[in-house]
Amino acid sequence: MTTNKTHKNVPDFRLSPTVDKVGVEERVARFQTRSIKNEAKMQGLKMVLNMIDLTTLEGKDTPGKVRQLCYKGQHLHDLHPGLPTVAAICVYPSMVAEAKKAVGDSGVKIASVSTAFPSGQAPMSIKITDTLYAVEHGADEIDMVISRGKFLAGDYNFVFDEIAAIKEACGKARLKVILETGELASLDQVRRASDIAMYAGADFIKTSTGKIQPAATMQVTYTMLCAIKDFYRTTGVKVGMKPAGGISNSKLALHNLVMVKETLGNDWLNNNWFRFGASSLANDVLMQIMKQETGHYQSADYFSID
C-alpha cells in the first residue's frame, strides 16, 4: 500500500495485529496489584506532576483563566519546595499567544489542540489553517484529532495522509495524534489507529479528547503502549504516549507509570515520551504529596480550581 512518498515500507493497515482482549485485561489487572513503597511513591508522584499537560479546553476560557493556569503550572514549588513544573499547558489556538507569554522561559511547553477539535469534522484546508495558526503564535506541540468517521469507514489512506499533512504543517512543533478511542469500539481498532498514526509521523499517540467516554482506560493505554513497542522494534523510532481523559487520581496515574515501565522501560519514564492529559489530576497529586510529607490531607480548597 502506498500512501505517502515520505514514508517508506508502510504496512497494509488492514492486516494490523489483532488484540487478545482477555490477555490485555489480565495483564492490566496485574499492573494494578503492584505495591509501591513510600519513597518510590513520592518519586512517582513528582514524576506524574512533571508529566501533566495542564489543560483548559472550554468555550468559556478567558485570557485570565489561561494566565492563572500557566502560573500554577510553573509555580508548584510555591505549594511545596522541590516540586517540578508541569510538562505543558494545553489550550485552544486562540489562547496560544497568551499562554506562551505567560510561561516565558520557564521551560513549560505550550500545546494547542487543532484540526477542528474535538470532532475533527472540518475540511482539510481548515485543519491546516488551524494548525498553522497555533504554530505561528508559539505552540511547541500540536494535539490533533483523527477523522474517526473516515477511519471507521475503512478509509485508512485518508487518515494516514491527513496525519502526514498536519505533521508537515507542524514544522518543528511535536505532533500528538488523538485517536478518540471511546469511538473506536474495539482494541483491534485502537491498535490499527495507533499503527496508522505512528507510520504517518506522530511524535505521540494520545487516547482521547476528554469529551467522549470511555476515555483513557488502562486496557486502551496498554494496547497503545504495545503498539509503540512493536513500532520501535520494527523502525527504531521512539514514539510517545499520552493517556487523556478520566485519569483524575494519583493511584491510577501511578498504575499507569508501572505499566509504562514494565512495557516500554525506563527510557519512556519522562515527559519527553509520556504525558498525562488532565485538569484535575494535579490537585490530587498535590494532596497525596502533602499526605506523604505531613501525614495529613490538605483541604481540597487549598489548591486552585482549574
Active site residues: 143, 206, 242
Q: Nearest-CA neighbor of 194 among 142, 161, 159?
A: 159
What whole-number distance in Å separates Cα of residue 156 and Cα of residue 151?
A: 6
Residues with Cβ within 8 Å of residue 88, at least 6 apart in sequence: 53, 54, 73, 108, 109, 110, 111, 140, 141, 275
Q: Which residue has the cell 474495539?
A: 186
Sign of CA dihedral 199, 202, 205, 209: negative
Residues with Cβ within 8 Å of residue 242, at least 6 apart in sequence: 53, 176, 204, 205, 206, 207, 274, 275, 276, 277
Q: Nearest-CA neighbor of 275 among 181, 187, 217, 205?
A: 205
CB 76 within 8 A of CB 86: yes
Residue 188 φ then ψ, to 5°: -60, -40
Q: Which residue has the cell 494535579?
A: 282
Q: Which residue has the cell 499503527?
A: 195
